Amino acid sequence: MGRILAIDYGGKRTGVAVTDELQIIASGLTTVDTKELLQFLKNYTRTEKVELILIGEPKQMDYSPSESEALIRPFIAKLKKQLPDIPIQRVDERFTSKIAFQTMIDSGLKKQQRKNKALIDEISATLILQSYLYSKR
């Protein structure tokens, strides 16, 4: 069994989360400069077996695509060309950033630490992955 990788794609930064090999636990992996994301994923998949890549699907409250979807679709096309053997699945990511921020508050992070947007992106990717794992059960 391989890992599942989740991506919270952003214009500047992208949060990345991953499961363990048994696909039980979702953990934040890192935040990557979006310009370097494709190379990061190619390098990561060379050293780790990845069975599935999840990419957050940002939607408006009425389920229509959000503005950032226009950035995500071209990235997915490139990713499919670079890693054709790994399936890609989309996961609704509404509210993940708000939940991530609340998680930071609940865990006792100080106000200055909560301003770390890279950490919010990483937690958001973890939430995307965790919601997928729950839906699988």
Angstrom distance (rounded) from CA 8 to CA 120? 10
Please write down the long-range contacts of 45-49, taking CB distance under 8 Å and 24 or more positions apart.
45/83, 45/86, 48/2, 48/3, 48/18, 49/2, 49/3, 49/21
Maximum pairwise Cα distance, the chain: 42
**Global confidence as pTM:** 0.84
| Digitized pLDDT (tens) for each residue of the chain, 137 residues in all | 899 999 999 999 999 999 999 999 999 999 999 999 999 999 999 999 999 999 998 766 676 666 778 899 999 999 999 999 999 999 887 656 566 556 656 666 566 665 567 777 888 898 899 889 988 87
What domains does the chain contain, in order, with CATH numbers? Answer: 3-136 (3.30.420.140)
